[in-house]
Chain A
Amino acid sequence: RKEVEQDPGPFNVPEGATVAFNCTYSNSASQSFFWYRQDCRKEPKLLMSVYSSGNEDGRFTAQLNRASQYISLLIRDSKLSDSATYLCVVNIQAGTALIFGKGTTLSVSS
């Protein structure tokens, strides 16, 4: 079983749509959780951290369910500029390397 699993997509949505991505992780000892965004041929960039209580940053909402080992990302009112690959990322312990999912590709069209 892969450590971090995501549906690769692609998700093709029109502008203004709401889209949700899901992710599961295998190591129950994981401590930190993130969503990164990666544009084509670029390095990944942190989109947001994910906290147990759930957190929101503008149009983006992240949720964590430790019992189910499940992470989600909700994007509301999609913009063309949201088109990218979204990486679910887990950290077992601070100071160690991040573990990446394969990514979910989002394409927003006008």
Chain B
Amino acid sequence: GAVVSQHPSWVICKSGTSVKIECRSLDFQATTMFWYRQFPKQSLMLMATSNEGSKATYEQGVEKDKFLINHASLTLSTLTVTSAHPEDSSFYICSADLILAGGNTGELFFGEGSRLTVL
């Protein structure tokens, strides 16, 4: 099946530093990738929609200057958490939409997630 790879799986950083998370679709092209965030005991919340070759679309309340998204190719999207603070500590998960000959399947494939801890 389709595979989405996310890296790093976990990262610990000091407050004020920036952290980059990569999301790759390994055996398919993804024109659209989605970035979610999940706090403990909470649901996955959509942060932004990443579109290849264009600017990302951010959900209300998500700072685009803080969470930089780059989708430069059909197989790679990156999320950079700039000047991270302890409140940014969370589980960040990317996902990609598998598009078959008949169109979008509606099913998303998820990366393994990146657990960020900001000290």
Which single member of B32, B45, B107, B112 contacts A34 (CB below 8 Å)? B107
Chain A, interface residues (CB within 8 Å), range = 20 to 34
Chain B, interface residues (CB within 8 Å), range = 20 to 34
**From B91, which residue of chain A is reached at the shortest CB distance?**
A41
How many Å lie between the Cα of A97 and that of B36 in the bound state?
9
The interface bits of chain A over 31-57 (1 if a CB of B lies within 8 angstroms of the residue's CB, else 0) are 110100000011111100100000000
- Given the known interface contacts A95-B97, A97-B49, the answer about A44 and B44 at a Cβ–Cβ threshold of 8 Å is yes
Q: Which residues of A contact B108 (CB under 8 A)?
A: 97-98
How many Å lie between the Cα of A96 and that of B57 in the bound state?
11
Q: Is the interface of B mostly helix, strand, loop or mixed?
A: strand
A residues whose Cβ falls under 8 Å from a Cβ of B: 4, 8, 31-32, 34, 41-46, 49, 87, 91, 94-103
B107 and A49 form a contact (CB under 8 A): yes
Selected interface stretch from B14-22, B61-69, B79-87, B98-106: B98-106
- Given the known interface contacts A41-B91, A44-B44, A102-B42, the answer about A95 and B104 at a Cβ–Cβ threshold of 8 Å is yes
Q: How far is the CB of B100 from chain A (nearest CB, A)?
A: 11
B112 and A103 form a contact (CB under 8 A): no
Indicate if B93 sits at the interface (CB-CB under 8 A).
Answer: yes
How many Å lie between the Cα of A100 and that of B46 in the bound state?
9
**A to B CB contacts below 8 Å, 22 in the list:** A4-B43, A32-B106, A41-B91, A42-B113, A43-B93, A43-B113, A44-B93, A49-B107, A87-B44, A94-B97, A94-B106, A95-B97, A95-B103, A95-B104, A97-B34, A97-B46, A97-B108, A98-B108, A100-B36, A101-B43, A102-B41, A102-B43
Q: How far is the CB of A97 from chain B (nearest CB, A)?
A: 5
Q: How far is the CB of A35 from chain B (nearest CB, A)?
A: 12
B104 and A46 form a contact (CB under 8 A): no
How many Å lie between the Cα of A8 and that of B42 in the bound state?
10
**From A103, which residue of chain B is reached at the shortest CB distance?**
B43
Q: Which 9 A-B pairs have the closest CB atoms?
A: A94-B104, A32-B106, A95-B104, A102-B43, A43-B110, A100-B44, A94-B106, A97-B34, A100-B43
